[in-house]
Amino acid sequence: MRGYFGIGAEEISKPMNLGALMRTAHAFGASFFFTINAAPKVREAYNSDTSRSFEHMPYYPWENLEALRLPKGCALVGVELTDDAVELPRFMHPQAAAYVLGRERGSLSPELLARCKHVVKIPTKFCVNVGLAGAIVMYDRLLALGGYPARPIMPGGPKLEMGEKLAKRR
């Protein structure tokens, strides 16, 4: 997959949520992770991240929105349930993107939404956990930009040729 992405959260307050989001970002190959105005107790969420993501990707704990700095050409993509947000399955992910999620009990700030180049929403009936929302967005990015062929028309996976079946058994 070409390009890169980072993911983060604004005003996250629970260490376990931060750890879960960081672990998932690490698993999906994020290039960096960030927080904006995180609660002091979560800025050092080492114990809640069992994959030790801090050792594998940069973490930027920005104190406030003014401190947020992204690489040149990196599009900030807000993930929020707003009326004008693009539904995630209809969204074309930028090659270079930084996805930002809101705090556990609230939304992205109006100031942060104003800085976003794009705003997407997960088509659910109500908000889901911040870690789960991040996983859904990263999985959708993988499907959209990962070079996977179209899904089969019928239920199940693609039919394997005899040579592929034998190779798979070995």
Q: Are 86 and 137 in contact, with CB atoms under 8 Å apart?
A: no
pLDDT in tens, 121-153: 999 988 899 999 999 999 999 999 988 888 888
Which token pair is 92? 């074309």
Evaluate if residue 161 carries a pLDDT over 70.
no
pLDDT in tens, 36-83: 999 887 766 656 666 677 777 899 999 999 999 999 999 999 999 999
From residue 105, give the alpha-carbon distance in Å to each of 80, 130, 139, 168.
12, 10, 23, 47
Full DSSP string of 122-158: ---SS---HHHHHHHHHHHHHHHHS-PPPPPSSSS-P
Average pLDDT, the chain: 87
Evaluate if residue 86 carries a pLDDT over 80.
yes
State the DSSP H helix or E strand holding residue 6, giving kind and residue range, or none if neither: strand 4-10
Q: Are 22 and 53 in contact, with CB atoms under 8 Å apart?
A: yes
CA–CA separation, 124 vs 145, rounded Å?
22
CA-based torsion, 42, 16, 54, 52: positive or negative: positive
CA–CA separation, 110 vs 124, rounded Å?
22
CATH topology of domain 4-169: Alpha/beta knot (3.40.1280)
pLDDT in tens, 29-40: 999 999 999 988
Is pTM beyond 0.75? Reply is yes
Which residues have C-beta within 8 Å of that of residue 65, sequence separation ≥ 6? 10, 36, 37, 109, 111, 112, 115
Determine the pLDDT at residue 47.
61
At how many degrees (to 10) do helices 130-145 and 15-27 cross? 10
